[in-house]
Amino acid sequence: MKKIVVGSRESLLAVAQSMTVVRYLEENLPDAEISLLKMKTTGDKILDRTLDKVGGKGLFVKELDTALREERADLCVHSLKDVPMITPPDLPLIGYSKREDPRDVLVLPKGRDCPDPELPIGTASLRRAMQIKPLFPGYNIRPVRGNLQTRLRKLDEGEYGALILAAAGLKRMGLEDRISRYFSTEQVIPAAGQGILALQGRSGEDYSYLEKFCDPGAAACAVCERAFTTELGGGCSSPICAFAQVEGDRIRLRALYYGEKSGVIRTGQAEDDISRAAALGRKLAEKLRAEDQ
């Protein structure tokens, strides 16, 4: 009997996301034995500092990478926005899920219809903080760490007046009713890969059994958005972000550039044939960077 072990972070959201892959495998490979390996990553353990202070998003995949190399897991499921832009050659990204709602949202304490101006708005993302600041003038924006449940608890206990979170995570956890406001992708450009699940495996192995799970449109968007961010050297401490949409055989990219030295913030957009998704990302990055020279 074929055995397939799916690796996942142990947070409730990560497990919920990974279970979509497990259920797909159970339905499509009825003769295989499918199991889930849950792990606490370094990024889950360090909650008193922001990611840019402790090593970046790689802390969320480090232990899972080891499980793949040691063959304790056959593939791992990640939120694509948490995957470092450069992945090891021996552990390639082997597929992408259909994209969930990519938007960022405002979450308020239960019973409120607007943020308390005396309390901070919580977000762990510089990208979100920079883009929501003009939308909430006069509000203090403060970092918040922890898994989704921890952040919501801090909100409901009065530590924060509001949170900025990803719609995708709330919807996957059945918490859509906590969403008070959706920000359009023009108001707040999402992180590269937001709403997409990335599947990571070992090079040289046959993962054809995942073909029907993977979404070609999401793959094109993922490649385009990550090419933009990679070209500019963006990481977890950078507000650089990109959001692509596929329409027929065309792909359109909207992105935000931030000059680390100049402090310049620019947004831009461009489109091309879907077959040139990666080139489109790089081209727009080069264009926005040239405007900052």
Q: Are residues 244 and 112 in the same domain?
A: no
Which residue in the list 82, 101, 104, 215 is annotated as catalytic? 82
Q: How confident is the model at residue 60, as a pLDDT?
A: 62
Counting the structural domains of the chain, the total is 3
Q: How confident is the model at residue 126, as a pLDDT?
A: 92
φ/ψ bin of 32: left (φ > 0), alpha (ψ from -120 to 50), beta (otherwise): beta
Token look-up 């920079």 returns 130
Q: How confident is the model at residue 172, as a pLDDT?
A: 96
Q: How confident is the model at residue 50, as a pLDDT?
A: 45
User: What is the domain-level CATH number for residue 231?
Assistant: 3.30.160.40
Domain hosting 11: range is 1-98+196-214
Q: Are residues 90 and 200 in the same domain?
A: yes
Q: Are residues 70 and 200 in the same domain?
A: yes
Q: Are residues 31 and 169 in the same domain?
A: no
Does residue 149 lie within any of the structural domains?
yes
Residues with Cβ within 8 Å of residue 14, at least 6 apart in sequence? 8, 77, 79
Q: Are residues 64 and 155 in the same domain?
A: no
pLDDT digits (tens, 9 = 90+) for 158-213: 999 999 999 999 999 999 999 999 999 999 999 999 999 999 999 999 999 999 99
Residues of the chain with pLDDT under 50: 43, 45-58
Q: Which pair of tokens denotes residue 257?
A: 């550039």
Residue 51, judged by CB atoms within 10 A of its CB (0-12, 13-18, 19+), counts as: buried
Does residue 189 lie within any of the structural domains?
no
Q: How confident is the model at residue 90, as a pLDDT?
A: 97
Q: How confident is the model at residue 208, as a pLDDT?
A: 96
Residues with Cβ within 8 Å of residue 135, at least 6 apart in sequence? 183, 187, 188
Q: Are residues 90 and 133 in the same domain?
A: no
Does residue 68 lie within any of the structural domains?
yes
User: What is the domain-level CATH number for residue 168?
Assistant: 3.40.190.10
Does residue 154 lie within any of the structural domains?
yes
Q: Are residues 91 and 6 in the same domain?
A: yes
Cα distance between residue 108 and residue 136, in whole Å: 14
Find out whether 165 and 79 touch, Cβ atoms under 8 Å. no
Q: Which pair of tokens denotes residue 133?
A: 């600041």
Does residue 191 lie within any of the structural domains?
no
Does residue 227 lie within any of the structural domains?
yes
Report phi then psi at 256, rounded to 5.
Answer: -120, 130
Q: Are residues 207 and 269 in the same domain?
A: no
Q: How confident is the model at residue 235, as a pLDDT?
A: 63
Q: Are residues 223 and 293 in the same domain?
A: yes
Find out whether 201 and 94 touch, Cβ atoms under 8 Å. yes
Query: CA triplet 266, 231, 101: central angle to 5 degrees?
Result: 70
Cα distance between residue 15 and residue 111, in whole Å: 29
Q: Are residues 94 and 200 in the same domain?
A: yes
CA dihedral sign, ordered 138, 189, 242, 141: positive
Q: Are residues 118 and 39 in the same domain?
A: no
Q: How confident is the model at residue 272, as a pLDDT?
A: 98
Does residue 190 lie within any of the structural domains?
no
Q: Are residues 246 and 121 in the same domain?
A: no
Q: How confident is the model at residue 47, as a pLDDT?
A: 44
Does residue 160 lie within any of the structural domains?
yes
Q: Could you confirm whether 82 is annotated as catalytic?
A: yes
